[in-house]
Amino acid sequence: MSNGPDHSPIQISVTNAETERADAARNRRLLLAAAKNLIDHHGASAVTMEAVAREAGVGKGTVFRRFGNRTGLMLALLDHSESEMQQAYLSGPEPLGPGAPPLERLLAYGRARLKLTCDHLDILLEAGGTAEDFLTHPAGRASTQHVRILLRQLGFDDDVEFMALTVQAPMSAGSVRYLMQEVGFDLETITAQWQRMVTDLVRARRTH
């Protein structure tokens, strides 16, 4: 005689569902790490669905099921990179994270932002590459607030909004594309000139 309904099938189903979700999350992390590794070592053009599958050691179908196509993969990687960057400047190690002097943190933020923009340049341009597109995006709003805080710590006050725009404008995908494709600069040159500009602005404010 049964003492009540047998819930074991439901328990098994839940367990299977949880296992599937854990497997999917693990696969996602693995694939994104593989894509990032390809970008770091070979550039964004090396990121194909086949290359990511090979780098991650999985079948190509796994990549397509997870992201749909290369654009979906790159958008997911961009979102992941933005989340990692935000975590880094909010709570990561110095100089990007808290603890370093504000100028060092601002310069570290610029280096990281310019590299991220360069790494994802194609997909950023497809998604909208103007400075306005970035500044009005939630990730851009968070980054702008971070830049404002550092600029205020460096002595900028009434003009902090204008200076935050000035500091961030060269980091947009449109600006980076122009400097690379039209002017002929590489990332190292763009970064060096951006750092010199920011350092000169801060020095001028301190001697004003």
Q: Would you give the distance in Å from CA 80 to the centre of its chain? A: 6
- 186, containing H or E segment: none
CATH 1.20.140.10 fits 7-68, yes or no: no
**pLDDT at residue 8 greater than cutoff 60:** no
Provide the 10 A C-beta neighbour count for residue 21.
10
What is the model's pLDDT at position 5?
A: 46
Number of residues that this document lists for the chain: 208
Q: Is residue 205 within 8 Å of 162, Cβ to Cβ? A: no
Is this prediction's pTM over 0.85?
no
Q: What mean pLDDT comes out for the span 113-131?
A: 79
**Bond into 95 cis (ω within 30):** yes
What is the per-residue pLDDT across 150-166, written as a single tens digit (0 to 9) for each? 999 999 999 999 999 99
- Residue 99 backbone dihedrals phi, psi, to 5 degrees: 120, -35
Local confidence band at 10 (pLDDT 50, 70, 90 cut-offs): very low
**Which residues, including other chains, have CB under 8 Å from residue 121's CB and lie 6 or more apart?**
44, 173, 176, 177, 180
What is the per-residue pLDDT across 86-109, written as a single tens digit (0 to 9) for each? 999 999 999 999 999 999 999 999
What is the model's pLDDT at position 130?
A: 57
What is the model's pLDDT at position 156?
A: 95
Q: What residues does CATH 1.10.357.10 cover in the chain?
A: 77-208
**pLDDT at residue 129 greater than cutoff 60:** no
How far apart, in whole angstroms, are the C-alpha atoms of residue 202 and residue 199? 5
CATH number of 77-208: 1.10.357.10
Q: What mean pLDDT comes out for the span 50-70?
A: 90
